Chain A
Amino acid sequence: MQVLLQTLIGGVTFGAVYALVAMGFSIVYRTMGLVNFAHGSVVMIGAYAASTFYLATRLPFAVAIVVAIAVTALIGLVIERFLRPLENKDFTLMLIGTIGFGAVLEAGAVLVWGATGHAVPSPVATGPIDVAGIRIPTYSLLVIAVAAAATGLLALFLQRTKRGAAMQAVAMDHQAATACGIHVGRSNAMAFAIGAGLAALAGSLIGPMLYVNPTMGGTLGIKGFAAAMLGGFGSMPGAIVGGLAFGLLDAFAAGNFQEYSELVTFLVFAVIVMIRPTGIFGEATVNRA
């Protein structure tokens, strides 16, 4: 029982980060119909930016996160601008283009930070909290809280603001949105920047939990992507539920299959999406046959 709960906490912590990555994917997918395979690499850049800034300046971690978000948002804008000619045209080409950007970012990270990577000390000094014999790391609580706050802010933005509504409108019908006076390119750029910002947040948070290195983006990106798919691509609640579900799947696979956890995770994932390709909250245009 205790082991189970301990695994659960670890799973939820990573799940919260996957949820952030998945939300970043989803917001870009929703607004532009673009599957951003570079997203994982943006997460990695975010992790590097935050940790490097944190280690170099000794300023609070929160400041480092803000810096990381700014850096990646800028990268997001650049990617969007480059791929704009392909928007709403060739899906496969755009997908491959983002894979290309992912490679560029990864290579850039190797050139700037070296191939080896670095460890990040936990920004929270206090020891774990003991609740009925289960040790909850304080940093886990922080991660979950920050992820929840970010989710809340994003929901507020989409539901309550004019720009948020416009962004959703573009996602649903870009021609009608144009006729309403919405600048589709600008809206997409903003979606991309928000997506990249979410990636940076995820990267900053996961830095102290993992070892920050140039290839971390590959696995994290795929896991976040898988989480988005599990929940239902493009759905925000789906991203959250999918992220948590994938975090738990990951944690239980790690607990029961140790070094084969990745193998088990992806096989289980493949089987689940075979059974329900549209995910929990559903996006049905998967197979147009």
Chain B
Amino acid sequence: MSTLTVEGLSVHYGGVRAAHDVSFTVEPGQSLGIIGANGAGKSSTLKAIMGLAPRQARAIRFGAHDLLRAPAHTLVRHGIGYVPEGRHVFPGLTVEKNLLLGAYTSSWKRTPIDEVYELFPVLGEMRGRLAGALSGGQQQMLAVGRAMMCRPKVMLLDEPSMGLSPKLVGDIAGVLKQLNAGGLAILLVEQNAKLTFDVTTTCLVMENGEIAASGTSAELSDDPQVRRIYLGL
């Protein structure tokens, strides 16, 4: 089993500092959440781990693999699934093609596509449709499904609740809890603190590109300041 380790990660876009000296670990089977406002550096952190943003770090490791030196397209082979912010499905391809591309690095003869259809029956019904024609919620399921196709050990999710109705957010939460219960480690980045506290056991709060607080999700959800700022209570 592999632990995702991030040590001293910083992200700069030009002169703009998006994240600074961020460190955390995600143990096998653990669920870690990162909450924070728009622009707090959460997405940049995830993108940097995936090698999709300019980064500096002391170390980014997954088990024995050094991700800092691995080209971005090799991460999926190590069992890291990524659900990008805003879903980013391939709109002009069918649902099925989208899913199969999630398994690009392995043989298309033996993919977990049936498991994905079982988890999201609606995707099975729409397998022949273009992904761009799906609703926001269905696209989100497709993005999660696509990330599952590489049989990941850890899944990184960037704002899966974005633009979804509360009902769909609830559905996504259910799926994530189910996946986590099945042994998949989860790193969830969210503005929606309620969803995050619901899904994860441990949580970080990011402000201004730095980790401002951390604790168990239960502790944080009772913290008066967190409640005021992130839950609007």
Which residues of A line the B interface, CB within 8 A? 162, 165-166, 168-169, 172-173, 175-184
Contacts and interface: CB of A to CB of B under 8 A. Distances in A.
Interface string B5-47: 0000000000000000000000000000000000000000000
Given A168-B90, A181-B150, 6 more contacts: A166-B101, A169-B101, A172-B90, A173-B90, A179-B82, A180-B146
Contact of A165 (B51, B77, B97): B97
Contact of B50 (A172, A173, A179, A183): A179
Contacts of A168: 90, 92-93
Contact of A180 (B51, B71, B91, B102): B102
10 contacts: A162-B100, A166-B101, A168-B90, A175-B52, A176-B90, A178-B72, A180-B102, A181-B75, A182-B104, A183-B71
Interface string B93-114: 1000100111011001000000
Given A162-B104, A168-B93, A169-B93, A181 B74 contact: yes
Given A162-B108, A175-B52, A181 B91 contact: no
B228 interface: no
- Residue of A172, A173, A179, A183 most packed against chain B (CB within 10 A): A179
A177 B76 contact: no
B84 A179 contact: yes
- Residue of A172, A176, A177 most packed against chain B (CB within 10 A): A176
A158 to B, nearest CB: 10
- Top 3 A-B pairs ranked by shortest CB distance? A181-B76, A181-B105, A176-B88
If over half of B's interface residues share one DSSP class (helix, strand or loop), that class is named, otherwise mixed; here it is loop
Contacts of B73: 178, 181-184
B89 interface: yes
Nearest to A184: B73
- Interface residues on chain B, size class: 20 to 34
A206 B18 CA distance: 54
If over half of A's interface residues share one DSSP class (helix, strand or loop), that class is named, otherwise mixed; here it is helix
Contacts of B150: 180-181
Contacts of A173: 88-90
B3 to A, nearest CB: 20
Contacts of A172: 90-93
B101 A179 contact: no
A162 B77 CA distance: 17
A181 B102 CA distance: 8
B52 A181 contact: no
B90 A179 contact: no
A66 to B, nearest CB: 30
Nearest to A164: B97
Given A181-B76, A182-B101, A176 B92 contact: no
B88 A180 contact: no
A24 to B, nearest CB: 19
Nearest to B93: A168
Given A165-B101, A166-B104, A179 B75 contact: yes
Contacts of B91: 172
Contacts of B77: 181
- Residue of A162, A177, A180, A183 most packed against chain B (CB within 10 A): A180
Given A165-B97, A175-B52, A176-B84, A181 B89 contact: no
Interface string B203-220: 000000000000000000
A248 to B, nearest CB: 28
Interface string B77-88: 100001010001
Contacts of A175: 52, 84, 88
B77 to A, nearest CB: 6
Contacts of A184: 73
B187 to A, nearest CB: 14
A179 B104 contact: no
B72 A180 contact: no
Contacts of A180: 76, 101-102, 104, 146, 150
Nearest to A171: B92
Contacts of A176: 84, 88-90
Nearest to B132: A172
Contacts of B101: 165-166, 169, 177, 180, 182
A175 to B, nearest CB: 5
Given A166-B104, A169-B101, A179 B76 contact: yes
Contacts of A178: 50-52, 72-73
